[in-house]
Amino acid sequence: MSTLLEAEHLTKIFTQRGKEPFRAVDDVSFSLKAGETLGIVGESGSGKSTLAKLITRLTDITEGTLKFEGKDITNLKRSQLKEVYGNIQMVFQNPVGSFDPRKTLGYGIGESLRNRNVKKEEVDKRVAELLEQCGLDREYAKRYPHEVSGGQCQRAAIARALAVEPKVLICDEATSALDVTIQKQIMELLKELKEKHGLSFIFICHNLALVQMFCDKVLVLYEGKVVEKGIPDDIINDPKEEYTQKLVEAVFA
C-alpha cells in the first residue's frame, strides 16, 4: 500500500498577546496509507480539530513536516496548495452550519464542480449520483439545509466532499451531533465508500467504540500530545495510560 500522508513532529503554537505561547498540537507524527482509516480520539480541547486544520493547511504549521504522496507540502502557498487539496477533503463538526442557509444542498454539493467549469447538466447529473451514493434520494438536491434532518445533512456534506473525488476524507466529529443509530449508519456509509472507492479516512471523535468498529489504527491525543497509538483493539483491551483508561471506561459505562 502506498503512503498518502506522512506527518512528522507536527506542532501548532498559538501566540496571543500577554499570554504564554500555547502548544495546541505538540509533536504529533503519523502516517496514512491508501485505503486506511486512522482514528483520532481525545477529550474536548485535546487538539483534534487543530490537527485536522494543520493536515488540511487551513492553519499554518508552526513546526514539523507534512508530506502528501511523498511531496513536502509543509510550506506550500495557497495557490500551490490548490492541487494537493483536491485530494484531501474535510467534513466539519456541524453539518448544517457548513452549508449556506440561503442555497439548496444541490447548489452546495455542485459548487466545486462549477468552479472547475463543469457544464450545468453535467453538474446536476453528478450531484444526483453523489446524493444517491450517500443514501439520499436525488430530490434532496432541491432542499435547503433547514429542511433536512441532521443525519441527512451529514450525508449531503459527505456528498459535497466527494464531489472532487478526493483520496483522503477527514471527518471531524462529523457524527457527534447525531444519535448513536444515525452515527452508525453514517459510519456504514463511510465504510462502503472506502471499500468501493479505496478512500482513506481520518476519523476524529470522542467515541472509542466507533473507532474500534471502523478504524485500522488510532491516535489518542491529550493536551496536544499523542499519548498512545496503535490498533484500536489493543488499546481498548490494554490501555497503557490512565487517560486512555478513562476514555475506555466512558465507552463501556
Ligand X SMILES: Nc1ncnc2c1ncn2[C@@H]1O[C@H](COP(=O)(O)OP(=O)(O)OP(=O)(O)O)[C@@H](O)[C@H]1O
* Among 14-22, 43-51, 146-154, 162-170, the segment contacting Mg ion (CB under 5 A): 43-51
- State yes or no: residue 200 binds Mg ion (CB under 5 A): no
| DSSP labels, 70-127 | TEE-TT--HHHHHHHHTSEEEE-S-TGGGS-TTS-HHHHHHHHHHHTT--HHHHHHHH
Nearer to ligand X, 8 or 43 (CB): 43
- State yes or no: residue 246 binds ligand X (CB under 6 A): no
- State yes or no: residue 44 binds ligand X (CB under 6 A): yes
- State yes or no: residue 49 binds Mg ion (CB under 5 A): yes
How far, in Å, CA of 58 to CA of 97, rounded? 17
Phi-psi category of residue 2: left, alpha or beta, with phi > 0 → left and psi -120 to 50 → alpha: beta
How far, in Å, CA of 32 to CA of 166, rounded? 14
- Interacting positions 81-120 with ligand X (CB under 6 A): none
* Among 42-50, 130-138, 186-194, 208-216, the segment contacting ligand X (CB under 6 A): 42-50
Grid cell at residue 120: 450545468
Nearer to ligand X, 94 or 133 (CB): 94
- Interacting positions 12-41 with ligand X (CB under 6 A): 14, 22, 24
Nearer to ligand X, 48 or 167 (CB): 48
- Which one of Mg ion, ligand X, none is in contact with 39 (Cβ closer than 5 to 8 A by kind)? none
Helix H or strand E encompassing 237? helix 232-237
Give the amino acid at 186. Answer: I
Quick one: which of 46, 175, 200, 207 contacts ligand X (CB under 6 A)?
46
* Among 47-55, 65-73, 97-105, 139-147, the segment contacting ligand X (CB under 6 A): 47-55
The phi, psi pair for 15, rounded to 5°, reads -115, 130
Task: Give the chain's radius of gyration (CA, Å).
Answer: 18
How far, in Å, CA of 210 to CA of 182, rounded? 12
At closest approach, how far in Å is the CB of 56 from ligand X? 13
Q: Would you tell me which residues interact with Mg ion (CB under 5 A)?
A: 48-49
